[in-house]
Amino acid sequence: MVVKSVAVGTLGNLSPQKTLVSVEGLTVRRDTHLAVQDVSFTLESGTDTAIVGPNGAGKSTLIQALLGILPRQAGNVFLLGQPLSPSGRLPIEVRQDIAYLPQNFLLDRRIPISASELVGLGWDRIRPHLPWTGRRTRDRAIQQALSQVEAWHLRDRPVSQLSGGETKRVLLAYCLVRPRRLLILDEAPTGLDARSESDFYRWLYTLKQEQGWTILQISHDLEMVRRSCDRVLCLNRTLLCQGIPDHALTPENLTLAYGSEFVRYRHSC
């Protein structure tokens, strides 16, 4: 299928952009199912790109393949200028600049770990076995990360006692505990109420501006995507269209991705 490409145009006051992610002809199978077929796109620095499409369209598969979590059958992936090896391995200097927040963060709540200890794992994953002088730097980084998402008061609370919204805040702090260039979110606000979801996106976009993040996120909230994202990838196994939200999220493109019944339902609401 021919991908309909739409010009991006000027993205606010962004400085000249650099390509951080390049995907070329990516094809991925899940068992015998062809989940992603011949997908190509790029992500530019400082932009927020949303992947949209119906359930089962291959959105999570696409993200997991470009991170090397799932094997790919064909295609090339470049992250921060480095190629993803056939085995899915990346140099540590690339991995430490990428944060990934999955839809369902699997954590055994029986483990006696506090919010600050969980955030500290994001630091220790890159900088293990620090001397005591480094520990003080680590503690300051944890405090700053939790404070940025208004969660410092949760620092000593066991994760087993956190609400859904509090857990998402702590996980975002986990991503923040060291500087990142690329943040990848797989429907991160899933399970939150309207207020908590609004707070999550407020922190996310404030931090994007402050820290210059590039964001790639999966979302079913098309109004949020239209309002807040710079670019959209419409996916249903193949990449159906890509471009700025006003051009990518037209009724014609939504019908192509979701079907005519979905579009009729949205217009009747």
Helices (H), 85-162: 92-95, 115-124, 132-148
Give the DSSP H/E element, type plus range, for residue 236. Answer: strand 231-236
Going through 147-220 in order, the beta strands assigned E by DSSP cover 182-186, 214-218
Among residues 70, 121, 126, the alpha carbon closest in space to that of 97 is found at 126
In this prediction the pTM is: 0.83
Q: pLDDT of the chain along its 269 residues, tens only? A: 434 444 333 333 334 569 999 999 999 999 888 999 999 999 999 999 999 999 999 999 999 999 999 999 999 999 999 999 988 888 888 888 898 888 766 666 677 899 999 999 888 765 555 554 578 888 999 999 999 888 999 999 998 888 878 888 898 898 888 888 999 999 877 777 788 788 888 878 887 888 888 999 999 889 989 998 999 999 999 999 999 999 999 999 999 999 876 665 555 54
- 154, with CB counted inside 10 A (0-12, 13-18, 19+), is buried
Closest C-alpha to 163, from 116, 109, 206: 109
